[in-house]
Structure 1
Amino acid sequence: MHGEYKVPGGKLVVVDLETAGGVITEFALAGDFFLEPDDALLDINRAVVGLPETADVPTIASAIRHALPEGAQLLGFTPESVGTAVRRALVTASTWSDFDWQIVRDPAVSPLMNLALDEVLTQRVGDGLRAPTLRIWEWDRSAVVIGSFQSLRNEVDPEGAAKHGFDVVRRISGGGAMMMGAGQIITYSLYAPASLVAGLTFADSYAFLDDWVLQALRSVGIEASYQPLNDITSPHGKIGGAAQKRLANGGILHHATLSYDIDGQVMTEVLRIGREKLSDKGTTSAAKRVDPIRSQTGMSRDDIIEAFMGEFRRFTGAETGHVTEQELAAAEELVRTKFSTEQWLRRVP
Structure 2
Amino acid sequence: MHGEFKVPGGKLVVVDLDVADGVIVRARVSGDFFLEPDDALERIDASLAGAPVTLSAAELAARVSAVLDGVVMLGFSADAVAIAVRRALTGATAWTDHDWHFLHEGPQSPRLQMALDQVLAEQVGAGERPPTLRVWEWASNAVIIGSFQSLRNEVDMDGARRHDVNVVRRISGGGAMFVEPGNTITYSLYVPESLVSGLSFVDSYAFLDEWVVAALRDLGIEATYQPINDITSPAGKIAGAAQKRLAGGVVLHHVTMAYDIDAAKMLEVLRIGREKLSDKGTKSANKRVDPLRSQTGLARTDVIARMVGTFRSRYGLTDDTLDEKTLRLAEELVESKFGTEEWLTRVP
C-alpha offsets along residues 29-85 of structure 1, whole Å, 9 cap, x if unaligned?
011111111221111001111111111111111111111241x11111110000000
Instruction: Please report how far the alpha carbon of residue 170 of structure 1 lies from its aligned counterpart in structure 2 after TM superposition.
Output: 0.6
Q: Which residue of 1 aligns with 2:86?
A: 87
Question: Cα deviation per residue 1:216-258 (whole Å; 9 max; x = unaligned)?
Answer: 1011111110000000001111101100011121121000011
Contact kept in structure 2, 1:241 and 1:257, CA below 8 Å: yes
Q: Note if contact 1:132-1:192 (Cα within 8 Å) is conserved in structure 2.
A: yes
1-structure distance, mates of 2:129, 2:297: 36
SS at 2:209 equivalent: helix
1:89-130 per-position Cα deviation (integer Å, ceiling 9, x unaligned): 001001101110011111111111111000000000000000
* AA in 2 matched with 1:23: V
* 1:1-349 aligned within 5 A: 1-70=1-70, 72-349=71-348
The code of the aligned residue for 1:5 comes to F
One-letter code aligned to 1:269: E
Q: Distance in 2 between matches of 1:336 and 1:9?
A: 43
**Residues 241 and 255 of structure 2 are in contact (CA less than 8 Å); yes or no, is this contact kept in structure 1?**
yes
Give TM-score, length-normalised by structure 2: 0.98
SS in 2 for 1:106: coil
Shift of 1:295: 0.5
Q: Percent identity, aligned pairs only?
A: 60
- Residues 287-313 of structure 1, C-alpha deviations (whole Å, 9 max, x = no match): 111111100011000000000110010
Query: Aligned partners of 2:169 and 2:325: how far apart in 1?
Result: 23
For residue 310 of structure 1, give the secondary structure of its aligned residue in structure 2. helix
Kindly tell me the number of residue pairs found equivalent between the two proteins. Answer: 348
Q: Distance in 2 between matches of 1:192 and 1:324?
A: 19
Q: In 2, distance between residues paired with 1:283 and 1:196?
A: 34
The secondary structure found in structure 2 opposite 1:3 is strand
> Partner letter of residue 276 of structure 1?
E
CA–CA separation in structure 1 for the residues paired with 2:63 and 2:28: 15
Counterpart CA distance in 2 for 1:294 and 1:135 is 21
2:3 and 2:88 in contact (8 A); partners too: yes
CA contact (8 A) 1:40 1:69 kept: no
In 2: Cα distance, 1:111 partner to 1:177 partner:
14
Mapped contact 1:118–1:189 kept (Cα < 8 A): yes
Q: Which amino acid aligns with 2:61?
A: A
Contact 2:179 2:261 in 1 (8 A): no
Q: Cα deviations across residues 204-223 of structure 1 (Å, max 9, x unaligned)?
A: 10000000000110111111
Q: How far apart are the structure 2 equivalents of 1:238 and 1:11?
A: 24
Q: Which amino acid aligns with 1:310?
A: G
SS in 1 for 2:215: helix
SS of match in other structure, 1:67: coil
Shift in Å, 1:143: 0.8
Structure 2 gap segments, 5+ residues each: none
* Contact 1:193–1:250 under 8 Å retained in 2: yes
Contact 2:237–2:280 at 8 Å: present in 1 too?
A: no
Separation in 1, partners of 2:140, 2:262:
16
Q: TM-score under structure 1 normalisation?
A: 0.98
Question: What is the alpha-carbon distance in structure 2 between the residues aligned to residue 275 and residue 7 of structure 1?
Answer: 33
Tell me if structure 1 keeps the 8 A contact 2:148–2:347.
yes
Amino acid at match of 1:27: A
Paired residue secondary structure (1:60): helix
Unmatched segments (≥5 aa) in structure 1: none
AA partner of residue 95 (structure 2): W
1:322 Cα shift? 1.3
What is the CA deviation profile of residues 161-189 of structure 1, one whole-angstrom value per residue up to 9, with x for unaligned ones? 11111111111001111111121110000
Distance 1:189 1:201 in 2: 20
Q: Name the CA distance, whole Å, in 2 between partners of 1:324 and 1:251.
A: 20
- Hey, what's the Cα distance between the residues in 1 that align with 2:68 and 2:140? 57
Paired residue type of 2:8: P
Counterpart of 2:156, as a letter, is: D
In the alignment, is the contact (CA less than 8 A) between 1:15 and 1:28 conserved in 2?
A: yes
